[in-house]
Every structure is written in structure tokens, then in C-alpha cells.
Structure 1
Amino acid sequence: MKLFVEGRKNTFPLLKSQINKDERVIWFHMASLGEYEQGVPVMEKVKELFPTHRIVVSFYSPSGYEVKKNSTLADLVVYLPLDTAKNVNSFLDLLHPELAIFVKYEFWPNILNELNRRDIQTVLVSGGFREDQLFFKMTNSWFKKPLEAFNHFFVQNEKSKSLLNSIGFNNVSVSGDTRFDRVANQLQLNNKLDFIEEFLDNKLCIVAGSTWPEDESLLKEFIMQNNWDVKIIIAPHTIDQDRIRAFQKSISIPSVLFTEREGKQLSDSKLLIIDTVGLLTKIYSYADIAYVGGAVGTTGLHNILEPATFGIPIITGTNFNKFPEAIHLEALKGLYAVNSKHEVISILNKLIDDPEFRLKTGSISKKYIQENGGATEMISSYFQENFVKIE
């Protein structure tokens, strides 16, 4: 909350000092870090198409801003001010964007209504809509009025398109999810991490990424009873050193923290805990099996596409009814959902013991990524056709 409040105090001073009145601006807004990753392929294309414009990114959540505030993709990164009429007018006066791009959601009524009033071209990318949203439950036009700001909606699936059509919006294209393009591109990057190679020592690797305490509790018995010659890497979602150390002490196998690796023989440890941020995507490239956190409790499933692109089997909790990619991948049998320690142990043992099953499950994940790319090209084509005039 301190970051949430204090960070917003800097938004207007940053805009005043960094954005000149005569500069041409394209504005991206993301709720948090996950939406940023969805927006990256589009930002890269926009920079190619409109190289004379400055790119400004805003975040609602500290978990996005604090990690990406120094992003080289953007010319400036700020917190989105709270959605009051006064804040919105000051924000847009200072920012004066020619194009506003929202990623996935974040439908703030004052901001959208003012964008519409100022006739600022606005697009939603990787949008996802559900029947339980107020737009579709309430007949009062006030609830859907903010959506009138969007010149075009690029949505992830046909259901989202149908829902928008049902309330009168026909400026909708099913593009899919730009995250598929984002994660597929990771294969072209340098994912080498020397310390991971030293730790693994050519052993089979299980990576548990973006874990919460409830995930770690579910995995703990397998870790303690692990009789296989397998290395385990855990990358908690939140870096709380006291909690991480407490968990490490509760595990009786040899372990090491990333921040304490210097001077240690990493290959002697069976468990490596990544107590920092920014490394998980590359670490997934070394995994033979991935566990993705967030779906045991109610925090929300984290990104399963990042490990899937590397062609590895995925395990999660069962609470992912709002995550279509997990639903689809489970149906294809590239993902296995568990809700007990016994189920975790059972599926992990099967994946370790049966290489053919492991490789087949992983190939399903990889194929799923390959077959669902292309959203970024569709969106960039729209920009070329509709916004070339702003150059």
C-alpha cells in the first residue's frame, strides 16, 4: 500500500519534467506485470511503426511498476493516477497521447469517458470478457458507456466477441492472446544461466514458478521424500526473505538461496530457491517439468505459457476457471491439475519415471503455443491501416 500511495505522488511531476508539449506520445496502460508481458510484442511493433513517437507506460499495480519502471521499451513508466475527474484531466493534459492502448482490461470509467470526449484513438489488445462483468449483467447504459471509448477491441476468444456484440459493439476482432507471441519469442533469446547449469549438474529438473505459501505446502512432502536423482528449483512469486528462510529451514534436503550462492558448490544442493525477480522465464528453459503457482489458493494462476513454450509438462492447482489457456491445455493433456499432496506426488513420480509420457505431455504444450500465435501481426496490421496518418 505504501508503494501504491507514494508512487502515485510522482506521476504528475514525472510527466511535467519528461514529456514536452510538442512531443508525440503513444500511451500503453497495463494493470500489472502479467499485462505488461502481454503488451511487449505490441510495444515492439508500435516502436517500429511510429519511431518518432515517445512511448509512455502506466501501471495500476506496484508489482508491475516496481519491476518495469526502468524498462528500455518505454521512454517513461508511471503509475496510473486514481480515477477521479480532476486526476484524469491533469493526467491527459500532461500526457496528450495520440493513441491509447489498453492491455487485457482495466476499464476505468473517468479515464475512458475522457479519452472518448477528447477523441483520442483508443484500442484494447488481448481483451478478455466474462458474462459476470457488469457490462453484460446491468441494462443501464452507464455501465457500458466507458467501452464507447474504444475504436477497436482485439479479444482473445469468440466468447468475448459474442459478449461485446450482445451489447451493441461490433468493432471487435478475435486476435487471440499476444502472450503466445511473447513467449514464443523467448526461444530466440539467450536463456543461458551459468549458475543454473552448475546447480543442475546434468540432472533432471523440476521448476516450481511463481509459488505462494499454499503451493509450497502442497509440494513440500514431495520435496522431502524425493528419492529421485532430481534437482528442484522454486521461484516464489513474492520475495519475502523471512518466509523464504523459514521454508528453507523446514526442508531437510540440502538447499541454497540464489542470493547466497557465491562461494558455494551449487551441485551439492538438491533445492535452489530463487529469492529475486526477473529470472524465471530463462529458468523455465532448463526445466523438464514445471509447476506453476497461484491456482491452489485464490490468488490466480500465473503464466503457464512461459514454461509451455519450452515444451515441458505443466502442473498447477485446480482453481483456474478464469484462465482459458489452462482450461484448454488441461483438455489437451499438456497440463495436469492437482488438489492434494498425494496427487502432486503421483503425477510428479509418473513424469519422472516415464520419459515417453513426459516428452509427449511436453510436446502438447509446445504445439499449443505454436498453434495460437499471430495476434501481434493482426494488431500491427490494424495500426498500419488506421493510424499511419499520425506519422
Structure 2
Amino acid sequence: MLQVPFIRQHTEQVKERLTVKHFQELSLVDTILALDDERKKLQLEFDTNQAKVNSASKEIGQLMAKGQKEEAEKLKQSVPSLKESLQPISEKLASVEKELEDTIVKLPNLPSANVPKGRTPEENVVVRVGGKRPVLPATAVPHWDLAKKHKLIDFELGNKITGSGFPVYLGKGARLQRALIAYFLDYNSKAGYTEIVPPFVVNEASAFGTGQLPDKEGQMYYINEDKFYLIPTSEVPVTNIYRDELLKETDLPIKMTAYSPCFRREAGSYGKDVRGLNRLHQFEKVEIVQLVHPETSYQVLEEMVLHVELLLQSLNLEYRILNLCGGDMGFASAQTYDFEVYSAAQEKWLEVSSVSNFEAYQTNRMKVRFKDSAGKNQLAHSLNGSSLALPRILACLLENNQTAEGIELPEVLHSYLGFKNI
């Protein structure tokens, strides 16, 4: 969430940066400032009247102490009307404050100066490409056919039990899924990330804190009776661990990693682009989250990108890193790098990770602060990244490693799997 003082001091800059994200409701900026002006006016009026009440009460006490009872009683008669005047001002002030809060959360985060201009995914900037594209045998098929042939994943069974987008992993397919989760967590832990097992459902305050609300209600599954949300990623509960906390500067950076199932309604998704593991309603992902000093957040962003890149290299997958343009960025992000892996059988790039710097957008919502060396409270910066999302990684591992004899799996997974091939 943006801060009103910053919007007031940099109004034109805020509007200019919002246009980079192709945000259409720039008039909200002026509405926010007008509401803040009204809030200040009402607060001053309330404080002035409250001061009159306090002054009268003090004077009554002084008169009584001096034995001037008649004067005190006369002054007492004016106090009720003063107190009554506070109630409508207080109610109006609360209403304006609520309207201001409801309006400011409609503004997305401002994109950093490093974000390229553009509206569509085609305008994202390729930062670098790595890995080697495999040469597949003439008999190569997409992962959904491989999964059926080797009895690794049953999509029809998942449809029977729940619905489309909820696959059932079987035998070596389930083992491969578990091996990837364990490998990713170990890789992150060795890099200094503390492993967390968070709740997989969150309350409204947590969903609001990381920016899922009010922007993404339609993408989340909601439990009506308890007013809980199934998490779209472990970023939500993990980042909220430090909601409403005042940290020490020496506590930073805080590095956390977590595995979780992820639940996304993905309303309106259909067609060949969502076949197999390409897009699911339930999938598994390992996440990395950092809370850092504002001065280091962009350095940390690059370090997290390198961390994910090396992980992909260890799996021998061809990948590319994209700096997302303003029009393709998330609501809460200040800058995002996407990782895509090449699916050789489908002959297309599949997104497998996003690494984002949210600056103080999330931490302002969550009130995650630290006391700096000067004794001043500052908002920390938050970052997160997929390290990694499993469905498309698993799809590409199956497709890109298929041979005439079977599927040869990367060496780094052998000790986790207990087998080398399928």
C-alpha cells in the first residue's frame, strides 16, 4: 500500500509511474489527496473542540478549589454541549478515514525505474538465456502422454475425485514430486533460508497484507463459514509471520523458505494452454521470502534471481529470464523477473518462477517495521520468489529427458528418488 505523504510530495511522479503499469484510474490519486485534506480538517476541528472540553474541565476544577462554586456550576452547563459537538465530528472523521483507506488500497505498487515500458507479455525484456535445448527422438510426446504411458499422473482420476485441474500423482510420479520438493528445500536451506511449515489457509488480514485482497478475490478459494482463504502461495502466510512486528535492524535480512500446496481458481482458464500440468487449480511450490533493509532490496533481488538460476542449471533445463514490462506486472510488485523453461515436446516456453521486489508495499499493509541505528522506525522491504513451482518443472523434466528407452532424470535428483530413470 502506498503512503499518503509520499503521494502528496510526489503526485506527478506517482501518476507517471502508474501509467507505466497502464493503470487507468489516475483520478484516484487526486481523490486520495482530497480525502486526506478533509481528514486533516476534521481532525483539527475535533482536536480544537476536545481542547475546549479539556480546558473547561480544568477550569471547573480550579474554580471549585478556590471555593467559587457558583462560577464552576455555570461553566459546567456549557460542557455537555461541547461534548455533544464531538460525536458528529468523530463519526464523520471515521467515515472519511475508512473511505481514504478503501481508496488507497485500489492503487497498485509503483513500478521501479528498472521496469521496461510495455503493455503485453510480448514486450517483456529477455535478460539472459541459459541451458541447452535437448534433441528429442522422433517418438517424443508431451508430458500428459508420458504420464499416462508410465502411470505417473492420472488426470482423469483427479477429475473424478474433484474436478479438472486436480491431478493424482502415482508411483514414480508421486516420488518425483516429493523428490523435487525435498531437493528445492535443501537447496534453499543451504543458502541460509530458514525452512517454515506454514498454515495452508489464512485469514482476511493475511490475504490483505500481501496484496491478494482486494485485488485477487476471484482467484482464491474461500471458506465461507470460517472466512478463511486457501493460500495461492506460501508467500502469504510466511510473509505475514512478521505482521505488526517491530524488528531490530540487526534482525535483517530475514530469509525463509516453505513448501506448500497452492490453490488457484484460475477462472476462465481453458484450451490447449492449460492441458496436463500447464495450469492447475492445485499444485505444489517451494517459495523463498526475504525481509530486508530498504537500502539493499534491489541487490537482494538480483541475488535471489541468481539463486533460482543456479537451481535451474542444476536440473539441466533450458531457461530464459525476463524483466517484466509495466503492463505485465503484478499488482503489488515494484519489479519482477520471470523464469521460463523450454518445453521441447510442446515447443513452447513455460513460466516456472517469478522473483519480485515489493519494496514497502506489502510491509506498509502489514506494518512490518524495524528500528534503525538512529532510533527511527522504518518499513522493511519484502521480496519473494518461486524456488520452484513444480508442475511445469516436472512437465519439462519428463518431456526434455525422454529417450527411446525411457526418461533419464537429472543426477542431482538420484539420491532423492532412489532411481535414475523411468
TM-score range normalised by the length of the shorter chain: under 0.3
Structure with greater Cα Rg: 2
TM-score with structure 2 setting the length: 0.21
